[in-house]
Chain A
Amino acid sequence: MPDAAISICPFCSMGCTWRLGRAAAPAYLGEPGVPTLDYTTGEGPNRGSLCAKGNLSLELMAHPRRLESPLLRQGDRLRPVGWTEALAFVGNELAQVREIHGGGAIGLLLGPQLTNQEATAAARLARAIGTPHVDLCEPEDHAVLRGIELSAARPETVVSVEQVDTMNALLVVGDLLTLAPCAARPVLNARYRERRHTVAVLSPTKTRTAWFGRPALHSEPNAEAAALAMMLALALESADPRGLAWAEDARSALARWTVTDLEHQSRLPADRAAAVVQALRQGPAAGVLLASQFGATARLDLVAGLAALLADAVGARLLTVLEGANSSGIHATLAAEGYAGRSGHTTPELLEAVMTGNVRALLVFGADPVAAFPGSLAARAMRAASLSVATAALPGPAVEAAHVVLPSAVFGEKSGTIRGAFGTPADLSPVMAPPGQARQDLAILDALAARMASAAMSPPETAGDSHGSARTFFDELDLFLRSEGREAASREPGTHLLVAESSATNAADGSLTGQLSWARYAYPEPLLGISPAHAASLGVRAGDRVRIRSDWGHTELPVRIDHGLPEGVVTAPHRDPAVRGLVRWRREPTVRTLDLRPERVSLERVLEGAHA
């Protein structure tokens, strides 16, 4: 391995470069030869800086709990086996499932940290198996990518971080600075370069990003789509429709809703929205920055599509920052391989199909569907399947549910190409070898494909309408606005909306990063954020425990007072196992993504706890 190497941070799609060096002897801060982070690189969008997660990524490589050999489930226990035995077992089981139920009874789920080459290999394996079911297993990113695709908006994209530095009007949708802290520098550069610059942040709660909004556009929780629809309607009032293929569909769809209706539904004053649209239109360098972490919204697909349409309408550039390092690369690779159509199941559909018996085997590569999706359906599906295989670097909920676990490499240990938020492919260079018998997912996929290739191949089913039409998108928007309008009117007093925590989720949310030592130090346990007024009415102080009840479950969490929360809204890290159980599994039948809408919950104080 080289003495120093530049690679990419695996934790979001910004594509920050990581420079690893070797600790020089006799530095007391590091043992000689152990890779250390060197913050001197000026390349990449981070320009030398790294967020908390990036700083901790070295720990993943040398983590004491790394999986080092394949594991085979026997009863409740996982038994270590060799690769030959594990691959033979998986190959035989897959062949058996395919023989009895057909190739379509096998589904592949791909994690957002796989490389483009691994996505291609997954498509190859799916072809060898003869299944159309291959999907990106990252609910938020999937919804955002699908929403932009369906909206038919084709705005120019931001191609470098320097473009953001020099923008004079920005609209940030979602909690960008929590998802990608390294985006803070360019956003604040744009914000402070000129006092009159607009950096609007659309958010229902005072997220880390919303603190820096000028103006901060606070909408009703779960009504960001209505707020953006209002902004789009305002933008189209004076837009020149030439060149916008979707403008007519949009006009006719939005004609059913007056600006006053949308203002009422989103609780965002129309004059403030109009001022932001005006600033974006006047440019000359305007941008819409979209983050796949929202904090409080249901229909990420609609929000993402509307943000893209708005950018297109006002001539602004669009930057989409996703939670997965290579979600957009995997999405594009699968589309190029013919797997983005309507013929194959999406991840939530696959998990449901396992429960109905239509799909019998699940192959999960580098993903954790149990942690990523609400409720317990994913865990039950993985247990109920005839065969569930998971590749993983560290133990987690998916490993606990899988029948076969194959140890895989993490980002600093593999080579390949990924596509970050700026659209340019970046090369990964390995700086360490994977521990024990762990292998790159590419090698695992290829080995499985070689085993399946001996059987009869069937080509993938023809790709369906992967781009959809703007009309479908606007029909969906119309349905959403109608149903949300009704739900808002029927909201019971005394209930509160539980939305995804925006400050702790990235470090200690029960997913991979939750296993890092600093995350445990900084966030020892999940906390329920509530507003000061709400805390006073419940009679609780910071550290006291409350019981949270939804229609689907209940749990207890200690309280954190959050001055940024509006009345009636509480937050919790949504990937925490206890919180997942409070949220209902809802799937949108048309766009087939998961609807992560805020759940209605009631709270009661449990007992007097220690005051923080």
Chain B
Amino acid sequence: MPEAAPRVVTRRIVLDLDRCTGCRACGAACHVGHHEQTNLVPGVVADIAILPVHCRHCEQPACAAACPRDALYRDGSGFIRCSELLCVGCHTCSIACPFGVIPGDLTRHVSPKCDLCVDRVVAGGSPRCVATCTSGALSFTDLEMSAASPEYVGGRIQSRAIVRRA
């Protein structure tokens, strides 16, 4: 079957802080979908909450700039991907990422860099972590629409409802 022509996907993963229960289903789905290598980092907030921290697929990716093998590149969909042939698992991307979203442990000796489940996304679906989210906290949202929303703050939705998490 011929592959569909690549088109830039402007949607990204957004987390609604008021809905995340810390069940870690997103991490498990990522683990299952990526050969037992989890590509997302559980962010532990002072032992109060566990929230998934996703790769933002930056406009100017520090990880790609730092990679000594040029293994990280922007693909036709606009996602920052890691070439498994070029990557030597040197951890530099993990250290360079300003958001700390590339896990440091290597199960498969290549960088566990989020690929936004491109296989599902090009077929019109959403990444596994979003699809499996049990509380509806994760969404795969258009960046422009999100940026226009007052609730959207740097990849997160805040203050949709008044919640005391702590």
Contact = CB atoms under 8 A, between A and B. Distances in A.
The 8 lowest CB-CB distance pairs between A and B, nearest first, are A39-B131, A52-B28, A184-B135, A181-B23, A55-B28, A181-B134, A518-B31, A52-B25
13 contacts: A29-B117, A39-B131, A49-B132, A51-B28, A52-B27, A55-B25, A178-B23, A182-B134, A184-B23, A189-B136, A195-B162, A212-B163, A562-B47
A27 interface: yes
Contacts of A48: 131-132
B11 interface: no
Nearest to B118: A29
Contacts of B18: 192
Contacts of B38: 518, 521
Interface residues of B, number: 38
Contact of A52 (B24, B33, B160, B162): B24
B135 A518 contact: no
A55 B135 contact: no
B161 A195 contact: yes
A191 B160 CA distance: 12
A27 B1 CA distance: 12
A211 B32 contact: no
B75 interface: no
B135 A185 contact: yes
Given A55-B32, A208-B23, A563 B47 contact: yes
B35 A51 contact: no
A55 B132 CA distance: 8
Interface SS of chain B = loop
A58 B27 CA distance: 15
A177 B165 contact: no
Contacts of A185: 134-136
B28 A46 contact: no
Interface residues of A, number: 46
Contacts of B28: 51-53, 55-56, 518, 522
B34 A50 contact: no
Contacts of A522: 24, 27-28, 42
B5 to A, nearest CB: 18
A27 B135 CA distance: 29
Contact of B134 (A50, A192, A211): A50
A527 B28 CA distance: 20
Contacts of A30: 33
Interface in B113-166: 117, 119, 125, 128, 131-136, 160-163, 165-166
Interface in A510-567: 517-518, 521-522, 542, 560-564
A445 B147 CA distance: 60
Contact of B33 (A29, A178, A517): A29
B134 A49 contact: yes
Nearest to B50: A503
A39 B31 contact: no
A50 B119 CA distance: 19
Contact of A212 (B21, B33, B136, B160): B21
A520 to B, nearest CB: 10
Nearest to A28: B119
A332 interface: no
Contact of B31 (A27, A517, A561): A517
Contacts of A562: 47
Contact of A184 (B21, B161, B163): B21
B49 interface: yes
B56 interface: no
Contacts of A40: 125, 131
B19 interface: yes
Nearest to A211: B165
Nearest to B36: A517
A188 interface: yes
B95 interface: no
